[in-house]
């Protein structure tokens, strides 16, 4: 009996002591979907349930395998049952808490997946800890739809941590802002006037479109969208469109863009097409009291003076013409330097037009 007691004592002495609250490393002995038996070097078996593995209680056979090493926390030592109750999620939570605190103290950038979209922002998960990022801190611009971030891995910093209230606040905006500033500085250091670049339409207004050039935005004014007349930028572009532009001017961090490429200038060959004496067809683009401007092709207008509209006297062009009306007119003047073309409708009309009209009226 004394020998048996001595053997038992030797066995107990060979086992390392464990204490409630202690974090120990163990080896998976057996595992089923609901629980795993962990050898922690103690005289009792360690039991890790799916609920103590993580809050979502996964199938443990998908997470653990016999022989795996795992760090666990001793929750309870049950001498009566001869078991040690273990927890993995509490170890993970403590480690995550340490990571969160260190990130807050050191302003460390954290990368984590977005796991939930909420009314006022998004949530990312850092080692099991939920970090809330308010909508105003998601980006450096207003985000109307936050759903696009779900499942996406993002970078952010921790700005507030209250472990008692389990409140963790993140800020992605300052990361995005810093990245954009760095990209902008890099772009402006290499970009020069005359450069041709492809950009993405970011925002459209009545006066033009803002184009993302990959680090900085440039303004494509409505007057620079093409050689022809642009009624509305929204009819020509939509957000997300790729557009090829050239840099017209750089003033500090302001970039003026243009789609009016010199080689496409319709005036390059206009002198041949619109020589004096040539009959041409165009549409009434706009009218003033002194005449009507006829669009002969995109980028080229000719002036049909009020005195050249009819052989009889008219007060203003709108009395006899309509915007959009198609007319065949005669080129009576061409000034290449001033890019002006004079037109006449009267000279194509029969000389007795007025007399015939008067006779019909009488």
Sorted by sequence, the CB contacts under 8 Å of residue 51 that are 6+ apart come out as 57
Query: What is the predicted pLDDT for the residue at 346?
Result: 92
Span 276-310, pLDDT tens digits: 999 999 999 999 999 999 999 988 999 999 999 99
Show the tokens assigned to 4.
Answer: 């048996």
Query: What is the predicted pLDDT for the residue at 361?
Result: 40
Q: Structural domains in the chain?
A: 2-87 (2.40.50.140), 103-176 (2.40.50.140), 191-263 (2.40.50.140), 266-350 (2.40.50.140)
Distance from C-alpha of 154 to C-alpha of 175, rounded to nearest angstrom: 10
The answer to whether residues 28 and 70 touch, using CB atoms and an 8 Å cutoff, is: yes
User: Which parts of the chain sit beneath pLDDT 70?
Assistant: 1-16, 352-362
DSSP 16: P
Distance from C-alpha of 126 to C-alpha of 130, rounded to nearest angstrom: 6
Using alpha carbons, list the distances in angstroms from residue 117 to 41, 146, 303. Answer: 44, 7, 59
Distance from C-alpha of 272 to C-alpha of 51, rounded to nearest angstrom: 85
The answer to whether residues 43 and 80 touch, using CB atoms and an 8 Å cutoff, is: no
Distance from C-alpha of 305 to C-alpha of 195, rounded to nearest angstrom: 40
Query: What is the predicted pLDDT for the residue at 306?
Result: 94
Sorted by sequence, the CB contacts under 8 Å of residue 318 that are 6+ apart come out as 287
Query: What is the predicted pLDDT for the residue at 353?
Result: 52
Q: Which of 124, 115, 182, 119 is closest to 155 using CA atoms?
A: 124
Distance from C-alpha of 80 to C-alpha of 175, rounded to nearest angstrom: 54
Angle in degrees, CA 12, 28, 100, rounded to 5: 105
Query: How many other C-beta atoms lie within 10 A of the C-beta of residue 299?
Result: 17
Three-state secondary structure call for residue 278: coil
Q: Which of 46, 33, 28 is closest to 85 using CA atoms?
A: 46
- The string of DSSP letters for 89-154 reads HHHHHHHHHHHHHHHHHHT--EEEEEEEEETTEEEEEETTEEEEEEGGGT-SS--S--GGGTT-EE
């Amino acid at each position: 009996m004394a020998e048996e007691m001595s053997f038992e004592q030797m066995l107990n002495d060979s086992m390392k002591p464990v204490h409630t609250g202690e974090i120990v490393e163990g080896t998976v002995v057996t595992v089923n979907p609901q629980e795993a038996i962990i050898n922690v070097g103690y005289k009792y078996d360690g039991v890790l349930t799916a609920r103590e593995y993580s809050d979502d209680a996964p199938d443990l056979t998908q997470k653990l395998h016999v022989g795996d090493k795992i760090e666990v926390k001793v929750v309870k030592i049950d001498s009566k049952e001869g078991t040690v109750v273990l927890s993995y999620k509490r170890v993970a939570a403590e480690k995550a808490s340490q990571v969160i605190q260190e990130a807050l103290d050191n302003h460390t950038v954290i990368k984590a997946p977005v796991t939930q979209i909420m009314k006022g922002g998004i949530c990312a998960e850092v080692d099991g800890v939920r970090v809330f990022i308010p909508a105003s801190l998601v980006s450096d611009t207003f985000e109307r739809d936050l759903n696009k971030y779900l499942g996406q891995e993002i970078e952010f910093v921790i700005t507030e941590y209250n472990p008692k209230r389990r409140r963790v606040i993140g800020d992605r905006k300052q990361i995005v802002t810093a990245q954009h500033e760095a990209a902008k500085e890099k772009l402006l250091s290499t970009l020069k006037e005359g450069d041709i670049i492809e950009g993405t339409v970011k925002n459209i207004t009545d006066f033009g479109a803002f184009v993302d050039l990959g680090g900085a935005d440039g303004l494509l004014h409505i007057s620079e969208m093409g050689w022809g007349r642009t009624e509305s930028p929204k009819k020509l572009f939509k957000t997300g469109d790729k557009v090829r532009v050239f840099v017209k001017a750089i003033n500090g961090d302001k970039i003026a863009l243009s789609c009016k490429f010199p080689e496409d200038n319709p005036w390059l060959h206009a002198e041949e097409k619109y020589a004096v004496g040539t009959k041409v067809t165009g549409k009434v683009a706009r009218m003033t009291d002194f005449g009507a401007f006829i669009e002969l092709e995109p980028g080229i207008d000719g002036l049909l003076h009020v005195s050249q509209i009819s052989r009889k006297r008219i007060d203003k062009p709108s009395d006899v013409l309509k915007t959009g009306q198609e007319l065949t007119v005669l080129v009576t003047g061409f000034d290449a330097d001033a890019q002006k073309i004079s037109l006449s409708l009267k000279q194509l009309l029969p000389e007795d037009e007025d007399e015939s009209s008067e006779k019909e009226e009488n």
